[in-house]
Amino acid sequence: MSETYYDPADLAKFGDIKDFQPDLAKKFFAWYGAVFQEGALTAREKSLIALAVAHAVQCPYCIDAYTSDALEKGCDEAQMMEAVHVSAAIRGGASMVHGVQMMNKAKDLLM
Amino acid sequence: MSSNTKRSLKGQGSQLADNFYQLKILNDSVKAGKFTGFREKLAEHGLGTLKPTGVDILQVNVGYMCNQVCKHCHVDAGPDRREIMTRETMEHCLEVLRRTHIPTVDLTGGAPEMNPDFRWFVEEIRKTGSKVLVRCNLTIIRANKKYYDLPEFFRDHQIEVVSSLPYYNRRRTDSQRGDGVFDDSIEALKMLNEVGYGQPGTGLILNLVYNPTGAFLPAPQASMEAEFKRNLKEDFGIEFNSLYNITNIPISRFLDYLIASKNYEAYMTKLVNGFNPVAAQGVMCRNTISVGYDGYMYDCDFNQMLGIKVKTAQTHIKDFDLESLTRRDIMLDQHCFGCTAGAGSSCGGEIA
């Protein structure tokens, strides 16, 4: 059997992080739950943001969880893929905008 | 991803057409310690046996024949199913309505309109004073010339129409209900709108049903209704009254899908973990009696498909006894988690 760092079954064990530090885990999960409640943003909008961020941080657990969650919030496939494009655009843009820094430095060094 | 199967599980000779086999799968998971039993879960929340609150709805399944073969169908309906309610059994139902004045009759199938006595039955039910609700799959209206006037028939008898449309786009709808179903459903909805259904001031009610097109739970009903209304209006000019969310119950063809797609355990985990005691107290079996095509009575259409009859001395509609039925214990099993997860699910949508 091959071993990997990630095991899909570990997602269901997320709550077990309390075993090593219960007080902070309790605060974390209470805050986490509050974040995803309907607020100034709808739960559906938050789910799409979470899906986009999951791709930015490349967390397989989060991608798994928020793909299901976005479907359960009624999102369609195009909305979900557009969220991933937003993530990719920001990641790509973050690299590209540093091109200005590269240009500044190059101009300093070049005749 | 589209369904190309044109035969029911029964027609294919699948083991999953056997209700005992379905119950065995559901209960083996409990025995293996993977999931809590439904009764145990009720007990954990201080809820004992579920008892009826009365009989407000007589849900009559007039036959399993259908022009569609949807992937999630709990009835395993299809063109190859021949089980059909006879006029004699309908007469028994009418006798009950005349005697008990149950306010609503919910006609389902299969495609109920395919029963040759469907129109006669509707007319006779209306004479008893009961309201009629028909679960119309929409495409039947476009399936054959003899059904083209169904919208007018529904209107003339003031029937409330409840129709499945799992999503407001073609891909998701056809992936569950078969190729071409979305386009035909849209045409049928336009025909219903034209005779006044879903239009303000007509009193003609057209409600749609949203089922998730896969192994996940429904979105909150109010937000989905807003999405459906906006998309159907913008894209097709279609209007309707309300959207009902119905959770897919893990039996029959949806169970087959869950097992084949390796989603069974994850889906059951969602249902069990999502148990909502408030939803459990509002389940439809508490105010409904489901009648099978052969006249036997069940607590709900799902129990009907699993062959779990009402727990009373007499179980046939010809022996309908309101008092003993309202005293009965409702029959429960693992599939009941489908109606109690999250916001709950019933033939009228969300519960909690």
- Give the domain ranges of chain B: 9-340
Q: Compute the distance between CA of residue B170 and CA of residue B343 in angstroms, rounded to an integer.
A: 27
Domain A15-110: which CATH number of 3.50.50.60, 1.20.140.10, 3.30.1490.190, 1.20.1290.10? 1.20.1290.10
pTM, two decimals, is 0.90
ipTM of this complex prediction, to 2 decimal places: 0.78
Pick from B217, B275, B249, B271: nearest CA to B46 = B275
Residue of A nearest to B227 (CA): A74
Structural domain boundaries in chain A: 15-110
Q: Tokens 């056809």 label which residue? A: B174
CB B219 within 8 A of CB B225: no
Tell me how many residue pairs between chain A and chain B have CB atoms under 8 A apart: 28
* β-sheet with B160-164: strand ranges across: B243-245, B206-210, B160-164, B131-135, B104-108, B57-61, B288-291, B297-298
Distance from CA of B308 to the nearest CA of A (A): 30
What integer pLDDT is reported at residue B5 of this predicted model?
A: 64
Nearest C-alpha of chain B: how many angstroms from A44? 9
Residue of A45, A69, A72, A77 to mutate, interface with B, max B Cβ within 10 Å:
A72
A positions 27-86 inside 8 Å of B (CB): 42-44, 68, 71-74, 76-77
Tokens, residue B131: 């309201």
Closest partner residue to B216 among A43, A44, A72, by Cβ?
A: A72
pLDDT surpasses 60 at B60: yes
> What pLDDT score does A1 carry?
56
Out of 3.20.20, 3.40.50, 3.10.150, 1.20.1560, the CATH code matching B9-340 is: 3.20.20
Contacts of A45 in chain B (CB under 8 A): none
What pLDDT sits at residue A103?
97
| pLDDT tens digits along A54-72 | 999 999 999 999 999 999 9
Measured in degrees and rounded to the nearest 5, phi and psi for residue B275 equal -50, 130
Cα distance from A57 to chain B (closest Cα, Å)?
24
Q: What residues contact A41, with CB distance under 8 A and at least 6 apart?
A: A49
| A92-104 pLDDT per residue, tens | 999 999 999 999 9
Chain centroid to Cα B156, Å, comes to 24
- pLDDT averaged over every residue in chain B: 95
